[in-house]
Amino acid sequence: MALIVQKYGGTSVGSPERIQHVAEKVMAARQRGDDVVVVVSAMSGETDRLVGLAHKLDPRPEPRELDVLLSTGEQVTIALLSIALQKLGCAARSYTGAQVRILTDNAFNKARIRDIDETAVRKDLGAGRVVVVAGFQGVDEDGNITTLGRGGSDTTAVALAAALKADECQIYTDVDGVYTTDPRVVPQARRLARITFEEMLEMASLGSKVLQIRSVEFAGKYNVPLRVLSSFQEGEGTLISFEESQMEQPVISGIAFNRDEAKITVVGVPDQPGVAYGILGPIANANIEVDMIVQNVAADATTDFTFTVHRRDYSQALDILRDVAIGMGARELSGDNKIVKISIVGVGMRSHAGIASKMFQTLSKEGINIRMISTSEIKVSVVVDEKYLELGVRALHDAFELERAPK
């Protein structure tokens, strides 16, 4: 008998019929003799709808109140799934994040889990019940409701699996596993039977939203066996594996992309100590996360300084820098929020040369101009104009022959 944590995403619980289907899948696991904890998301579209409602009243709603609002989506689903399970004759009990006591910090809208009190869950499991937990939410020390950031139900599931030392954490979604790239953009994308934890971490952090990045971090930290599967069809899905396979590794495992990028350039700043700090200090103080940073070699006594931020923070970052740029004597402040980042990821890159140049050659053949480049041990990222996203990803998928299974 195993202890399994199953998570069902928004599409998987998008209607009463789909919730019924989930109840039947949970029931089947029970009948195989497993103990089951189920984590659910809000019904598809619901979190967006709630955000939209708040924005009708205030474009920048108070984060605490937004979390009170957003957490209701998941509360609906836990109740409906428990009702469906009970109707099937399967004992079940629903819990909000606060009721389980998923304790988080107080960073509303992007809280981090600190601790989980699994006593109640264990008691229910011991009494033969299925435990249904609301994803994406927790409670801070003062009893305020918090949420974990978009896609946060994945993290709830992995954190619960870690706390309960579950045998497996299964993420059920609308695709049957992790693919070489988003199958919505490249129909020839191939499901990976396994992906290393390290590669999954890069893919998630570079924009593959199939798993929230924090869920992958958690899985790594606590060694949680993690699998991505389809809610709608049977199959093995993708195992996030901790050992690198003995078999020949493909050089590139996947392509990630991120549409939420924007870049800002401070043109013609004096080339002297304190410039990077002068520009990025105020940005950090405003809690804006910076991703890529490029400073050119000074041609005259001045240099250009470019960095990227999330598109949501673009106009605020520009506002902050207007005065800063003038104060520094910069020639100009410019920006572009119609850019995207495309990244190739693979542990095989460590032992193969020429991967970056193949990437650049492929993009140049398509006439795609590269605006920025950044590399690390197992990835190469480029920033390009938004209109080239699909073309670029497809060309790279082709060039690295990702549709073919490695021999």
> Which spans of this chain sit near ligand ASP (rule: CB under 6 A)?
9-10, 41-42, 47, 73, 135-136, 150-154
213 vs 328 by CB, closer to ligand ADP: 213
Handedness of CA 226, 231, 234, 235 (dihedral sign): negative
Q: Out of Mg ion, ligand ADP, ligand ASP, none, which partner does residue 175 contact, by CB within 5 to 8 A per kind?
A: ligand ADP
Question: Do residues 272 and 298 lie in contact, with contact meaning Cβ atoms separated by under 8 Å?
Answer: no
| Ramachandran category for residue 274: left, alpha or beta (phi over 0 → left; psi -120 to 50 → alpha) | left
Q: How far apart are CA 67 and CA 136, in angstroms?
A: 10
138 vs 151 by CB, closer to ligand ADP: 151
* Minimum distance, C-beta of residue 1 to ligand ADP, in the bound complex (Å): 27
Diameter of the chain by CA atoms?
77
66 vs 275 by CB, closer to ligand ASP: 66
95 vs 179 by CB, closer to ligand ADP: 179
* Minimum distance, C-beta of residue 185 to Mg ion, in the bound complex (Å): 17
* Minimum distance, C-beta of residue 110 to ligand ADP, in the bound complex (Å): 16
- Chain residues binding Mg ion by CB under 5 A are 9, 151
174 vs 244 by CB, closer to ligand ASP: 174
Token pair of 357 as six digits: 């140049």
* Minimum distance, C-beta of residue 83 to ligand ASP, in the bound complex (Å): 20
14 vs 135 by CB, closer to ligand ASP: 135
Q: Tokens 């924090």 — which residue?
A: 214
151 vs 268 by CB, closer to ligand ADP: 151
* Minimum distance, C-beta of residue 344 to Mg ion, in the bound complex (Å): 23
User: Taking CA 392 as the corner, what is the angle to CA 391 and CA 393, rounded to the nearest 5 degrees?
Assistant: 95
Long-range CB contact pairs, 15-22, < 8 A, 24+: 15/43, 16/80, 16/84, 18/231, 19/77, 19/80, 19/81, 19/84, 20/84, 21/231, 22/81, 22/84, 22/172, 22/231
152 vs 177 by CB, closer to ligand ASP: 152
Question: Do residues 325 and 278 lie in contact, with contact meaning Cβ atoms separated by under 8 Å?
Answer: no
Q: Which residue is nearest to Mg ion (CB)?
A: 151
- Chain residues binding ligand ADP by CB under 6 A are 9-12, 41, 151, 173-175, 178-179, 181-182, 184, 208-210, 254
Q: How many Cβ atoms sit within 10 Å of the Cβ of residue 44?
A: 17
* Minimum distance, C-beta of residue 330 to ligand ADP, in the bound complex (Å): 38
DSSP 278-328: HHHHHHHHTT--EEEEEEPPPSSSEEEEEEEEEGGGHHHHHHHHHHHHHHH
Q: Which residue is nearest to ligand ADP (CB)?
A: 9
Q: Out of ligand ASP, Mg ion, ligand ADP, none, which partner does residue 47 contact, by CB within 5 to 8 A per kind?
A: ligand ASP
What are the two backbone dihedrals, phi and then psi, of residue 373, each rounded to the nearest 5 degrees?
-135, 140
* Minimum distance, C-beta of residue 54 to ligand ASP, in the bound complex (Å): 14
113 vs 255 by CB, closer to ligand ADP: 255
Q: Out of ligand ASP, ligand ADP, Mg ion, none, which partner does residue 174 contact, by CB within 5 to 8 A per kind?
A: ligand ADP
Q: Out of ligand ASP, ligand ADP, Mg ion, none, which partner does residue 402 contact, by CB within 5 to 8 A per kind?
A: none
DSSP state for residue 187 in the 8-state scheme: T
Q: Out of ligand ADP, ligand ASP, Mg ion, none, which partner does residue 150 contact, by CB within 5 to 8 A per kind?
A: ligand ASP
Q: How far apart are CA 155 and CA 100, in angstroms?
A: 15
* Minimum distance, C-beta of residue 47 to Mg ion, in the bound complex (Å): 10
Reference 237, options 180, 176, 189; nearest CA is 176
* Minimum distance, C-beta of residue 200 to ligand ADP, in the bound complex (Å): 9
Question: Do residues 78 and 115 lie in contact, with contact meaning Cβ atoms separated by under 8 Å?
Answer: no
